[in-house]
Amino acid sequence: MSWFRRLRDERGSLPLAMMLTLVGTSLSTLMLPVVITQLRDTAETVDRAKALHAAQAGIDIVMGGIRGSLGSIANLVCIPALDPLRGTVSAAVSGVSSVLPGRYEVSVEYQDATRTPIPCATKLSKLLTVPAFAVITARGTDKAGKSTDKIDPKDRQTRTLSATYVFRFTNENVNGGLLRLYGGAYCLDAGSGSPAVGTIVATQPCNTGSSRQSFAYTKDLTLRLVSSITAKNPQGMCIDSGADPVSGGLLQFQICGVSPLIPYYQRWSLNDSSNFRSTANNGIDLGAFCMHAKAGATKGAFMELTSCGGAADNTRTFAPDATVGAGAADAPNQLVNFQQFGRCVDVTNFNVTLGFLIVWPCKQAPVITGVGWNQRFVVPVTPKEEGKITGQITTYDSTNKKTYCLTTFTPGGTSHFVTMQACPTLLSTAAEVKATQWDISYKIPNSYDTSYIIVDTNGRCLSPTNLDDKKLPPDDIFKGSTVVSKLTTALCDGSKLQKWNAPPNIAKPIPLKDIGEK
C-alpha cells in the first residue's frame, strides 16, 4: 500500500467559475430594469397614496362644515362642481414638514329625499329646501401647485373619492308665526318677548321673526306667545279675555292654563269669517264675542271684544301665517297639510261650482261639529291607521242637503285642479267613478316617503300648489283675505307638501355611506 494520495484532477474548475461569473453578471444586468420598474412603481404608489390622503382631507373639510351648520340650512355652504373648494394639506413628523403634502378640490351636490339635486349654483347661493343627502366629490394630487390651481382629473396621480352624507333630521313642525289682520300690514303684538301679566294686546306693524309677534295656535285652542315659554314660566303667556267677558273688554296676556284644564276665556276658534271667536263658559259652544282692534290700520290699537260678523276688514278679520299652526284641526275630519301646517283643504266659499278647492287657514271650534262643512270630510281609515285603503273622500253640504266627492282631474285636460263633484250614481260612467277613487296611505312601515299621502287613480299625489315656486302661475294662487294655494295633484315625491295629517318623522341614518373611489 502506498502512503501517497493521488492528486485530484482540477482541470474543469476554472471554466466553471468563469461560466458562473458570466451568468451572475448577465442576471444582474437583466434584473436591473425590473428593480428600477419596481422602484418607480413604489414611488408612484407613494405619490398616489399622498393624493388619496389629500382627497380624504377635502371630504373631511366638507363634513366639518356640515356638522358645523348646527342643523340650519342657512348655515350650509353651496360648493358646486363648477366652483369647487380648493386647498392644500401637509403634515409634519418630528420637525420634518410636508411629510404628506398635497392639494385637493371638493364639491357638494345636495339632494332631496328622491335624490333630485337641490339648486345651489354658487358659493353665495342659499338652500331653500332641507336636503336629505349631500353627495361629496373630492379630487386629490401630490403635484406641486398653488392652493387655487385646478386639479386635472385625467392625470395618473389624481385620486377621486366620493361619499354620501345622510342628514339626520326630524321634520317636526315648530309653531310660531304672525297673527296678521286683514291687509297684512298690522299684527297682534305683545310689547316685548316676555310680557308682564295683564299686558294689553295691541297692534303693531308686522315684523316677521319678531319675538313679540310670534304666536303658536295650540291643540287647546290657545294663542300662546312663543318667546314667553321659559324655564320660569313653562306654560308661557296666552291671550286672555277674562272670566265672564263683556263687549268692549280689553284682551290681556295671562299665564296659560295647564292642559286639559284650559280656561274657556283663553280658548279661541277661527271661524268661517276668519274671526277669532271666544268660547262659551261650558267649554263646548262658541262664545258671543270676537277679537276686534279698536282702530283699524293703526299702530298701538288695543284689542277688545265685540260682536262677531260683519264684512271683512282690518279690525276683526285675520290672516294668520301658516306657521302659527293648525290649532285643534286634525284627522279624521280635517285634512291638514304637513308643510303648510296651519292650512286645511277647504271648499272655496262653500261653493262647489267654482272649479277649484283651496288650502285655507284651518277652521276651529271647541267641538268638530262647530267647524263649517266646507272643511269637514269623511275619509276612509284603516285599522290602527296603518297601511292603505281605497275609497271616496266626501263632504256633506248641510245647506243643500247633498253629499259631494273629492274628484281628480284628467291630466292634459282643461283644468288641473281638484274639485268637489256630486258623488257617482249607478248611471255614472266608469271614468266618473274612477275620478272619485283615492288611495289613502297611513303609516307604511319603514317607508315614510310613501306614508300619509293621498293618491288618485292616475298615480298622482294630492298637493297644494307650491307658493314657494317663484314661477307659479297666477291662476294657481287664491287671493282672499289671505293668499293661499289651490288644490291639485302632482307627481309623488315624498315631500312634506304632499303629506296630510302626518306626524313628524325622525330619521336616524348612518351619517356617511357609499364611500368609494371613482
What are the angstrom distances between the C-alpha of 83 and each of 96, 103, 125, 131?
33, 16, 12, 20
What are the angstrom distances between the C-alpha of 484 and each of 340, 453, 458?
10, 20, 25
Q: What whole-number percentage of the chain has pLDDT above 70?
A: 85
Q: Which residues of 360-382 are buried (b: 16+ CB within 10 A; e: fewer)?
A: bbbbbbbeeebbebbbbbebbee
* pLDDT tens digits, one per residue of 84-107: 999 888 655 445 444 456 889 999
Per-residue pLDDT at 510: 59
Domains, the chain, in order of start with CATH, read 33-167 (no CATH), 172-325 (2.80.10.50), 328-508 (2.80.10.50)
- Measured from the Cβ of residue 349, the count of other Cβ atoms closer than 10 Å reads 12
Nearest 10 degrees: Cα torsion 315, 316, 319, 322? 130
List of E strands, 308-451: 343-346, 358-361, 388-391, 394-397, 402-407, 419-422, 438-441
Q: Could you tell me how many helices (H) and strands (E) the chain has, helices first?
A: 2, 26
Backbone angles phi, psi at 145, to 5 degrees: 165, 175
**Quick one: DSSP state of residue 258?**
P
As a three-state string, the secondary structure of 223-251 is: EEEHHHCCCCCCCCEEEECCCCCCCCCEC
Give the pLDDT band of residue 147 (cuts 50, 70, 90). Answer: confident
Query: Does residue 243 carry a pLDDT above 80?
Result: yes
- Say how far apart CA 476 and CA 357 lie, in whole Å: 11
Give the pLDDT band of residue 64 (cuts 50, 70, 90). Answer: confident
Q: Any idea which residue has 285643534 for its cell? A: 328
Mean residue pLDDT of the chain comes to 87
Give the pLDDT band of residue 46 (cuts 50, 70, 90). Answer: low
* pLDDT tens digits, one per residue of 360-408: 999 999 999 999 999 999 999 999 999 999 999 999 999 999 999 999 9
Beta strand pairing call for 215-217 and 460-464 = unpaired
Query: Does residue 48 carry a pLDDT above 80?
Result: no
482: closest CA among 327, 305, 361, 342?
Answer: 361
Greatest alpha-carbon span in the chain: 153
C-alpha cell read off for 1: 500500500
Q: What share of the chain is helix, strand, coil (3-state, %, to 5)?
A: 20, 30, 55
Give the pLDDT band of residue 44 (cuts 50, 70, 90). Answer: low
- Say how far apart CA 89 and CA 58 lie, in whole Å: 9
Asked whether 150 and 141 are in contact (CB, 8 A), the reply is no
